[in-house]
Amino acid sequence: GQTVPPAPQGGPPVGTEQPLAPEEQPGQPGAGDPGEVVEEQILVDLARRIPGDPMAAGPADAPVTLIVYSDYQCPYCGLWAEQTQPTMLAYAEAGALRIEWRDINVLGADSRRAAAAA
């Protein structure tokens, strides 16, 4: 195989093209493009925003909704719950954020059992 020497000063390797700027990417929706509206609507539809939802915190009409997908067997999800979630809950209690929790079972049968038990 052929070895490509590294570019000076951290740039791309010699012989590679620079990527196009985001606004120049072919096939990407631009501002005002109908594809952009569809993507935004999909994101809006993900939030349940049901008042009294036991798997949510914060007002249903909060300006921002954070959907937390987590697996009870995931150590990184546990770290987030211990270290970051308290700060997010403070925002939810202040009415600036809605948090909606969703179970995602990616680590096997124990994940499914833990989610069912929760």
Residue 103 in any domain: the answer is yes
Number of domains into which the chain is organized: 1
Q: What is the pLDDT along the chain (118 residues), one digit of tens a residue?
A: 555 444 445 444 445 455 555 554 555 555 556 666 666 666 666 777 888 899 999 999 999 999 999 998 999 999 999 999 999 999 999 999 999 999 888 888 888 888 888 7
Structural domain includes residue 82? yes
**CA-based nearest residue to 96, from 87, 105, 106:** 87
**1-10: which pairs have CB atoms within 8 A and are 24 or more residues apart?**
none
Give CA–CA dist 68/92, Å, rounded. Answer: 13
| 66 belongs to a structural domain | yes
Residue 15 lies in a domain: no
Phi and psi for 41 in degrees, rounded to 5? -65, -40
Supply the pTM of this predicted model: 0.59
Q: Note the Cα 86 to chain centre separation in Å.
A: 18
Write out the two tokens for 89: 């809950």
Whether residue 100 is contained in a domain is answered as: yes
Residue 68 lies in a domain: yes
Domain hosting 98: range is 59-118
* Ramachandran area for residue 102 (φ above 0: left; ψ -120 to 50: alpha; else beta): beta
